[in-house]
Amino acid sequence: MCGRFVSTSTPDRIAAYFGSQLPTEVAAEPLGDNYNVAPTQDIYAVVGNPDGTARISTYHWGLVPSWAKDRKIASRMINARSETLADKPAFKGLLKKKRCIVPMDGFYEWKAGAEGGPVNAKGKPLKQPMLIRRTDGNPMAVAGLWTAWKDPDDPEGRFLHSVTVITTAADEFMAPVHDRMPAVVPPSMWATWLDPTNDDVHAVSEVFEPGRHGPREMLAVSTEVNNVRNNRPDLLEPIELP
């Protein structure tokens, strides 16, 4: 799964990297650096336009399907498995027309605790948080799905735009830590993936094939990451393991 990540690229940088439009409202109210992004927080996503262009938007992390009675379901829909997207009622329609890219400057995954490492109150080894990021400094282009939900309790009838992050089976790089990892869209497929007029599920699903991640590194970081209230640059600092 993917339950925590890093978002430090500015809207300007994201727009330049993905060749996308930067709406005035996003530029005027940037989200700011977030070193410990957690589910149900607002995040950036790149979404395709019918004319072939793309734009940056702000989304709620945790999908709220259009048929949901309330937004509580969001915390259970932060991830979607690539293998079952075409079968799940909440995702199959979105896979055809509402795909997006979630820019991540790294993500966290937790490795089984090692002997001699930190322990919890019961004396059991704590899981070790690992930071996975690109070595070239560019953001990861993680595949996602988005939708809009009309809030019945909003007197102005506004819509909540939300997103889920797509995961796929771990490759050899990630397998020692977890059996899942975020699905990354390679630059050669950005246009295909983002094109809302392309409803060829078979073609867009090619992004889930192995070997799409580019140069990566995995670093052990402080267990301070475990607390979602901690949000500081030093969370990204690598530590020496025992």
Residue 240 within any structural domain of the chain: no
Mark whether 29 is an active-site residue. no
The sign of the CA dihedral 146, 152, 154, 155 is positive
| Active-site pick, 2, 83, 172, 206 | 2
Please work out, in degrees rounded to the nearest 5, the angle formed at the alpha carbon of residue 192 by the alpha carbons of 186 and 196.
130
Residue 73 within any structural domain of the chain: yes
Give yes or no for residue 123 having a pLDDT over 90: no
The domain that holds 202 is classified in CATH as 3.90.1680.10
pLDDT in tens, 125-176: 788 999 999 999 999 999 999 999 998 888 887 899 999 999 999 999 999 9
Residue 54 within any structural domain of the chain: yes
Instruction: Report residue 88 as tokens.
Output: 């799940």
| Active-site pick, 29, 100, 109, 237 | 109
Is-contact 203 188, C-beta < 8 A?
no
pTM: 0.93
Q: How confident is the model at residue 12 (pLDDT cuts 50, 70, 90)?
A: very high
Alpha carbon distance 192, 180 (integer Å): 24
Residue 221 within any structural domain of the chain: no
Q: Which of 65-69, 76-80, 176-180 has the lowest mean pLDDT?
A: 65-69
Mark whether 2 is an active-site residue. yes
Q: How confident is the model at residue 114 (pLDDT cuts 50, 70, 90)?
A: low
- How many structural domains are present in the chain? 1
Alpha carbon distance 66, 152 (integer Å): 11
Is-contact 86 210, C-beta < 8 A?
no
Residue 121 within any structural domain of the chain: no
Residue 223 within any structural domain of the chain: no
Residue 120 within any structural domain of the chain: no
Q: Which residue type sits at 60?
A: H
Note down the domain range covering 102: 5-115+137-215
Residue 40 within any structural domain of the chain: yes
